[in-house]
Amino acid sequence: MAQGFRILAVGVGGQGILLFSRVLGEAALVEGYAVAMSEVHGMAQRGGVVESNIVLGEVRSPYISPGEADVLVALEPVEALRALFRCRKEATAIVSTDPVVPQMVKDGLATYPDLPPLLEKLRTVLPRTYLLSGEDLARKAGSAKALNVVLLGALAGSKVLPLSKEAFLEALRRVVKPAYLDLNLRAFDLGYQAVLSAQ
Amino acid sequence: MHPLLAPKEGERRLLLGNEAIVRGALEAGVRVGAAYPGTPSSEIGNHLFALSQELSGLYFEFSVNEKVAMEVAAAAAASGLRSLTCMKHVGLNVAADPFLTLAYVGVKAGMVVVTADDPSCHSSQNEQDNRYYARLSGVPMLEPATPEEARAMTLYAFELSERLELPVILRTTTRVSHARGVVTCGKLADYTLFEKGRFEKDLKRWIPVPAVARERHRVLLEKAHEAEELAARSEWNRMVKRGPVGVVVSGVSVNYVLDAVKELGLEDELSLLLLGFTHPFPKSLAAEFLSGLERCLVVEELEPYLEEALKVVVAEKGLSVKILGKAEGYLPRYHEFHPGLVKEALARAFELDYRPPEFPDTSWIPELPPRPPTLCPGCPHRETYRVVKEVLRELGEEEKTIYPTDIGCYTLGLLPPLKMADYLLCMGSSVGSACGFSVATDQRIVAFIGDSTFFHAGIPPLINALYQGHRFTLVVLDNETTAMTGHQPVPSQELRPEPLKEKPVISITKFCEGLGIPTVEINPYKKKEAAEAIRPILSSGKLGVIVAKAPCVLYRAKFKG
């Protein structure tokens, strides 16, 4: 970890992973950290699994190998489990617990697992796991769509990265359209507080 | 103001690789851009399109296909205007015909051809390695490793192109095009006026009849020689000689190698040749690098392109260095790399004891539900598939029918419960392969193609079908936009942004009717009426076209917002 930070953000197409990573990257830029990231666009976004790799500091590779992520941010719980092998054994995980049920489950072609015991197990495997209902908090902020920014607030609140709260706020102001700024600032704060109170 | 115009010289911005290419092109003073969208290249065209609405000095068009885009850009460069075309890797197959002869006739002003390759097929039907197009055409090639290099190399590519009077390939991969990194911007060119160029006639240059072509091939080879000398001393090809074990690397893998060197503590031992100007292959530089080395690992995604070039150098110069690459099993010839894979190969080349990092126990995780991409809620394609399926079921043909499909969101019709996609090769292949199935089988054939794909490559095979007397139903899924790549315009769209309102609407229905093919247009949301309308065409089994017209729900939403 002395060499840099690798953050893997995962979720489902449409949840706003790209905005999440842009704001995080911008926050790193505000703090003067080198930053690189990579995203997958196109067909993968049509309700499929979406991931974004973000590296800060002394890392150049914009892509994270198995066992290398220092931080896992999951906007959806099953996607947290799917990406677990990408994490270091000591990684921090920040997970929204609200399921997004895949179409194949709705069509009766697959089953969605029973979450509570799995999330309990996740806590024992990765002791630094924060679970929060991102959707509830986003709705409290004014829109369920602000889930991505709730998780960004939670990431800031976990203080696992060397980025100040002010850097995140400045990044939000730079990236988010003015009309949605207040909503997003509220969402950020709710995520931030949720993690602080869990600590 | 468009965000790519805002940064002043020296300002740092977090840019996507594709955005950095656009910024570099704007600094180089590109005047004409033409492209057909395709992931992972699409954002380049999207930004140029938006910029052309704002800058009077810039022209950009979304052409109907990559071949046309290449020809538009080539003619602009022949007329003295700097031009750019961009496409995904398979797009260059479509544009290969003009491109390979463009290498003969060359350009006057700089012309850059961006090809964005997609190792691991994130959103593609193959993972072909377009570096071979550089070798096939003889055109110089630059390969950035980061967004910062993408900006600077684009700028340089225009200069290089003008100097050699040849187009230049800028080859990226998904992890460069869709990487975001810090880019230091340069000075923007002046875009206040669109100054027209002038085409100077020259029969011995621009008309490659055999006598001219033979001469131009000789000229091309001379230029390739000059380009090789430039590559050998290019700042984009950096050599560091340290110990007897070396690495040659290009593209995104440069990052993986530099990280691995640090993490394995090889900074003082490893000799490095980082290549960015990769065609013509800088043989003299490679020979200098390889001489005195014992072993040399080659790190490149996909084909052993550099590896084989290095082996030629070893043979020609009688060197004793052992080249370690794909042939020796150090790295795979398929899929994109990841940093750990490269670290492992490097450790093996150094005979270091290396174990990949351990990850948390995952044995307790049950089988997770797959989450393949799906058609969006409310997507009109799903409605069309359903109504066609229903009518075929009534006819007792649902299971027996062959469903050739095409490139677009609607390829997802392959998934259950629809399962209405059976055969696919490339853009437009639904129509051409339907012709073939019609000859080769007695099965009923219902082919699906999108509006943009129809204009791109669906028209010639439809004319072929009519002329040859092939029998199938073609369903054109006209959602009024190139949806999958980010809602680029198509000629048939009625719902269109303000700047395009002046352009004609080219109706696919009228076009097919004009050919004399039985054609019906349906609204797929009106199930009953649609079923009535398509029943005669589907039951006849003869050549017929169904145009299902309803805008993409995401595209329509943009107009409400």
Q: Which of A180, A129, A174 is nearest to A154 (CA)?
A: A129
Residue in B closest to A105 by C-alpha: B369
Q: Which of A132, A126, A149, A145 is nearest to A196 (CA)?
A: A132
Q: Nearest 5 degrees, angle CA B336-CA B224-CA B231?
A: 60
Report the residue of B180, B185, B261 to disrupt the A interface, i.e. the one with the largest count of A CBs within 10 Å. B180
Residue in B closest to A171 by C-alpha: B14
Average pLDDT in chain A: 94
DSSP-based three-state secondary structure for B17: helix
Q: Given A42, A47, A89, which is nearest B122 (Cβ)?
A: A42
Query: Does B256 touch chain A if contact means CB atoms closer than 8 Å?
Result: yes
Rounded to the nearest 5 percent, the helix, strand and coil shares of chain B are 40, 15, 40
Mean pLDDT of A65-78: 98
Partner-chain contact B14 A35, CB within 8 Å: yes
Q: Which of A37, A48, A40 is nearest to A8 (CA)?
A: A37
pLDDT of residue A45: 60
Residues in contact with B365: Cβ distance below 8 Å, sequence separation at least 6, in sequence order: A81, A84, A118
User: Nearest C-alpha of chain B: how many angstroms from A139?
Assistant: 21
Partner-chain contact A36 B179, CB within 8 Å: yes
Chain A contacts in chain B segment 139-168 (CB below 8 A): 146
pLDDT in tens, A111-123: 999 999 999 999 9
Contacts of A68 in chain B (CB under 8 A): 339-340, 357
pLDDT in tens, A25-65: 999 999 999 999 998 765 556 778 999 999 999 999 999 99
Report the C-alpha gap between A146 and A136 in whole angstroms: 10
Cα distances (angstroms) measured from residue A167 to each of A23, A31, B61, B181, B465: 10, 6, 39, 18, 61
Q: Judge whether A63 and B64 are in contact, CB under 8 Å.
A: no
Contacts of A40 in chain B (CB under 8 A): 122-123, 174, 178
Query: Does A109 touch chain B if contact means CB atoms closer than 8 Å?
Result: yes
Report the C-alpha gap between A190 and A147 in whole angstroms: 10
Going along chain B from its start, the domains and CATH numbers come out as 12-232 (3.40.50.970), 237-349 (3.40.50.920), 380-560 (3.40.50.970)
DSSP-based three-state secondary structure for A8: strand
Query: Does B95 touch chain A if contact means CB atoms closer than 8 Å?
Result: no
Q: Judge whether B541 and B471 are in contact, CB under 8 Å.
A: yes
Contacts of A42 in chain B (CB under 8 A): 39-40, 42, 122-123, 484-485
Q: What count of CB pairs under 8 Å joins A to B?
A: 174
Q: A117 or A107: which carries more pLDDT confidence?
A: A117
pLDDT of residue A107: 87
DSSP-based three-state secondary structure for B414: helix
Q: Given B357, B371, B409, which is nearest A12 (Cβ)?
A: B371
Report the C-alpha gap between B153 and B485 in whole angstroms: 25
Percent of chain A with pLDDT over 70: 96
Residues in contact with B38: Cβ distance below 8 Å, sequence separation at least 6, in sequence order: B66, B87, B88, B90, B91, B116, B485
The terminus-to-terminus CA distance of chain A in angstroms comes to 22
Give exposure, A157-182, as e/b (b: 16+ Cβ within 10 Å): bbebbebeeebbbbbbeebbeeebee
Write phi, then psi, for B14 (nearest 5 degrees): -85, 105
pLDDT of residue A2: 47
Q: Given A67, A112, A121, which is nearest B357 (Cβ)?
A: A67
Residue in A closest to B339 by C-alpha: A65
Cα distances (angstroms) measured from residue B157 to each of B117, B361, B397, B482: 18, 48, 55, 29
pLDDT in tens, B397-435: 999 999 999 999 999 999 988 999 999 999 999 999 999
Report the C-alpha gap between B454 and B41 in whole angstroms: 20
Q: Which of A99, A122, A123 is nearest to A12 (CA)?
A: A99
Q: Given A25, A40, A109, which is nearest B122 (Cβ)?
A: A40
Task: List, for chain B, all residue ranges whose pLDDT scores fall below the cut of 50.
Answer: none
Q: Given B122, B182, B341, which is nearest A34 (Cβ)?
A: B182
Going along chain A from its start, the domains and CATH numbers come out as 4-198 (3.40.920.10)
Q: Given A21, A38, A42, which is nearest B175 (Cβ)?
A: A38
Q: Given B361, B409, B417, which is nearest A125 (Cβ)?
A: B361
Look at residue A198 and tell me whether its pLDDT is greater than 90: no
Cα distances (angstroms) measured from residue B314 to each of B53, B278, B295, B308: 52, 17, 12, 10
Cα distances (angstroms) measured from residue A180 to each of A176, B30, B212, B465: 7, 35, 61, 52
pLDDT of residue B520: 98
pLDDT band at A1 (very low <50, low <70, confident <90, very high): very low
Query: Does A139 touch chain B if contact means CB atoms closer than 8 Å?
Result: no
Partner-chain contact A84 B360, CB within 8 Å: yes
pLDDT of residue B131: 98
User: Nearest C-alpha of chain B: how many angstroms from A111?
Assistant: 6
Percent of chain B with pLDDT over 90: 97
Partner-chain contact B373 A48, CB within 8 Å: yes
pLDDT of residue B183: 97
Q: Judge whether B177 and B130 are in contact, CB under 8 Å.
A: no
Chain B contacts in chain A segment 23-42 (CB below 8 A): 25-26, 29, 34-42
Partner-chain contact A125 B338, CB within 8 Å: no
Contacts of B87 in chain A (CB under 8 A): none
